[in-house]
Structure 1
Amino acid sequence: MPAGFPDFRLGPVLATSFTGTLSERQGDAVERIPTPQRLVDWLTVSGLAVTSCTPAQLELARELREAIHAAATAAARRDPLPASAIPIINAHSMNGRAAAILAPDGTRQWRLSSPSSVEDALGVIAADAISIIAGERDGKLALCASPTCQAAFFDTSQSRTRKWCDMNTCGNRQKKARFNANHPKTRRSAE
């Protein structure tokens, strides 16, 4: 990935990984797709490779991202889904013309209608969001326990009690802060 941009925070669930392209929403927000090319990069590493993206397509992607985030957050809290998010998610799902194909290794891949169809890729993401928000998949939506993050994530752990959207970022940061608060002498000797 090009230098100068924050790393992507990828997870096993497409829709919630997509909402993670804007992280630390409750603190100093980090935009991980600030340019059309960065969206191309994210789609590529997410298995939805496109060849190009326009600024208008980037804005459509951000609109979808925020609608999914709002709906997933409401679902995790067991609140009513925001009326403004539903038509955005549905429109993107209906506009996409991607086809699921079976790869030789037995995995599902997506074939977009053209190499530059960002709309098809967004349709796949919207359909994934619908499946998790509607409760069709084994797991549950939850919110990150980090007060600066609070990202929606899809918990597929056996006990469904995961606290962090990502243990390597939010979880470690919170555990380190708790350790430092409980061991001030250790923190001073390390400085």
Structure 2
Amino acid sequence: MVVMYFPEFRTGRVLATSFTGTLSERYGEALERIPVPSRLADWLADNALTVDSCNQAQLDRARELRESIHAAATAVANEEPLPSSAVRVINECSTQGLASPVLTPEGSREWRLGSGSVEDALSVIAADAIGLVSGEREGKISLCASPTCQAAFLDTSRGHTRRWCDMNLCGNREKKARFLANKRKKATSTD
């Protein structure tokens, strides 16, 4: 089995927001990180949700769940009502799989998939999204300040003042743009 490397998604260690990160730069030049079913299977395996196989219909359903999670997280971040279609998809995916949380000997929680199907894995992601959107996690759902990114992330910083999904990507890109703009402004003012 070939394991594909997936860059650590900018949304932190929250499974649901990491999953929404499989489509990045949503409002710019969008980059689809799960373009084919095998990439979805690889992403799931990389996140301890190994499935037996994946087909196009399952990939389509996974993308529908991803967009529903992003829509719900965006609504929470903007203090708007949850879109009913997003709630429906998240709930359907949550209840359609056979997955159970299990306690490891080290005292942490892992998920055991009932049948090794994509539906089982999606139920885990949907359950994580329910915990996130319903406010069960400590932190605040925020959106990246980059106008082309707008990735949802869980802000656990003191005072909930984090602006970027990832300082090394979006934050540095913004700093560089400001630096270059100031440099051009100074160059024009001295001419």
- Deviant stretches of 4+, over 2 Å: 183-187
2:101 match: secondary structure = strand
Tell me by how many angstroms 1:184 deviates.
3.6
Q: Which has the higher contact order (CA 8 A, sep 6+)?
A: 2
Pairs within 5 Å for 1:71-86: 71-86=72-87
Residue segments in structure 2 that go unaligned for 5+ positions in a row? none
Instruction: Report the RMSD for the aligned CA atoms in angstroms.
Output: 2.0
- Describe how 1:31-180 pairs up with structure 2 within 5 A: 31-115=32-116, 117-180=117-180
The answer to whether the Cα contact below 8 Å between 1:180 and 1:186 also exists between their aligned partners in 2 is no
1:47-95 CA-to-partner distances (Å, cap 9, x unmatched) read 2111311111100100000111111101100001111111100001111
Question: Structure 2: how far apart are the matches of 1:184 and 1:44?
Answer: 47
Partner of 1:121: helix, strand, or coil?
Answer: helix
Point out the more displaced range, 7-16 or 106-115: 7-16
Distance (Å, rounded) in 1 between the aligned partners of 2:120 and 2:54: 12
Contact between 1:39 and 1:58, CA under 8 Å: does it hold in 2?
Answer: yes
CA distance in 2, matches of 1:41, 1:8: 14
What's the CA shift for 1:183?
2.4
Q: Deviations over 1:20-58 (max 9, x none)?
A: 100101101010100111111111111211131111110
Q: Measure, in 2, the Cα distance between the counterparts of 1:139 and 1:111.
A: 26
CA offsets 1:119-177 (integer angstroms, 9 cap, x no match): 01100111111111111111111110001011111111122111011122111111111
- Does residue 15 of structure 1 match 2:41? no
CA contact (8 A) 1:8 1:32 kept: no
Paired letter, 2:170: C
% same residue: 63
- Residue 104 of structure 1: how far off its partner (Å): 2.4
* Distance in 1 (alpha carbons) for counterparts of 2:164 and 2:138: 18
Q: Is the 8 A contact 2:37 2:55 kept in 1?
A: yes
Gapped runs of 5+ residues in structure 1? none
Number of aligned residue pairs: 184
TM-score, normalization: structure 1? 0.90
